[in-house]
Structure 1
């Protein structure tokens, strides 16, 4: 990868400060969020302010990902959310464990592609693909979105042992993951 790209993650807020906050994903990954004056906030589907981000809140954060740090462009507070725990368990997300190989399994429709092909995208298309991926298989950090030659998207997932690739349709529905 050639540096930070559009990405995001879902989790529960641990701490807040004047410049950002930290949260834990459903698999226990610690994510640091840097906020900017241009960061947009929503609570559910309504506009909100940074004051909506409180310890214990469930959030979806979109922005530029560099390892386990997200420079937020959008923070969505999810009322009554569980930080993705139920969805991660239902999807069978496997937390990262050093030295444990990732299983060679897939769920649903997997695109026929070679890793490294396609075009890295950002903006609205990347945000929609990440929202779809995080709704179905949260727990990791999505660190890039690649538009494939057939118009579908591959959302790259890090910091979990499985799944590593999430395939999203042109209409932003999760097709499968591996």
Structure 2
């Protein structure tokens, strides 16, 4: 992914100078193909991009041509993928923050508010879990 910063991009967790190619960051912004225009860049601790925590959580890294396993953990809502309302701002940040705390290491390209008020955080850079479900009060319910 390429991250574009603007004059309004906010950097948290370290100075903007600390953000170099290969730095472990959480980027919130607008996605256009393989580029994110950053509204906020949060420098992650540990510097491994969450790799150790992701491995411990059972996250399966993306490998092209490898199908994702069909397994789930916790409570999975009755929903249809593609339905719901895409959310942004503070709400999306809270949902992504909750999801990354439990199943770190993914790139989240969208947060969708489901009809029951819960959220689906969509991972695009791991084979599993692809969807993390977060409650109205931003607690992870389950993932698949």
| Number of the residue aligned with 1:148 | 114
What's the CA shift string for 1:85-144, capped at 9, x where partnerless?
122112211122222211110011111111121111111101111121222222322111
Q: What is the match of residue 161 of structure 1?
A: 127
- Farther off after superposition, 51-60 or 67-76: 51-60
The answer to whether 1:109 aligns with 2:75 is: yes
Aligned residues: CA RMSD: 1.8
Which structure is higher in RCO with an 8 Å CA cutoff and minimum separation 6?
Answer: 1
Q: Secondary structure at the match of 2:8?
A: coil
How does the TM-score come out when normalised to structure 1?
A: 0.73
Residue-pair matches, total: 144
| CA distance, structure 1, for counterparts of residue 135 and residue 52 of structure 2 | 23
2:97 to 122, 128, 131: 131
Structure 1 gaps of 5+ residues are 1-30
Distance 1:166 1:68 in 2: 22
Please say which of residues 146-155 and 63-72 is displaced more in the overlay. Answer: 63-72
2:39 maps to 1:69: no
Distance (whole Å) between structure 2 residues aligned to residue 60 and residue 165 of structure 1: 17
2:7 corresponds to 1:37:
yes
Alpha-carbon distance in structure 2 between the residues aligned to 1:87 and 1:74? 23
2:44 aligned residue: 78
